[in-house]
Structure 1
Amino acid sequence: MAEYALKEKKGSLFSNATKEKETQPDYTGKVLLEGKTYRLAGWIRKSATGKNYLSLSISEPNLEKRTGSIAEESDGNDFTDIEEDFPF
């Protein structure tokens, strides 16, 4: 099978089959921005009103090599302070 080539401003998320802890992302993937590939991570969350949404994080791929696991790091962007007045 041919390898998928990323296109500018496009990316993909895939189910994280190796998830072992709740803090690890439900989905992982890559995106290409300005000629550079970044890592994507997504967590399925539930808002205060009970609506499901996908919380996303983007990071440089070499961060994972330096720390061993980016999925367990927190950048303080867990979206707990989002106001839950979504129109949907």
Structure 2
Amino acid sequence: MNITPWEAALGEKINVSTPAGTLGVTIPKNSKSGSNLRLKGKGIPAKQAGDLYLTLNIVNPDVSNDASIQAYEQLKQAFADTNISR
């Protein structure tokens, strides 16, 4: 499931289409790409519905205007002292 960087960092409730219908799913704060969310009993219906797993994929929006460039520059400065393993 594609989410934005701010949804991953701040947490967010979003609507997701599932076999059980549209559900409100809460993205936990500080979520990472590749993390799985389990929706118990919301999978494919049978005698008993199975669990549905959503894999988070953080997608960076295109930098397409001055406002988005400025926003990324502010993020860069805000996290200048953050060590990220590469």
Fold shared, TM-score > 0.5 on shorter chain: no
Structure number with the higher helix fraction is 2
Could you state the TM-score of these two structures normalised by the residue count of structure 2? 0.27
Q: Who wins on radius of gyration, i.e. which is larger?
A: 2
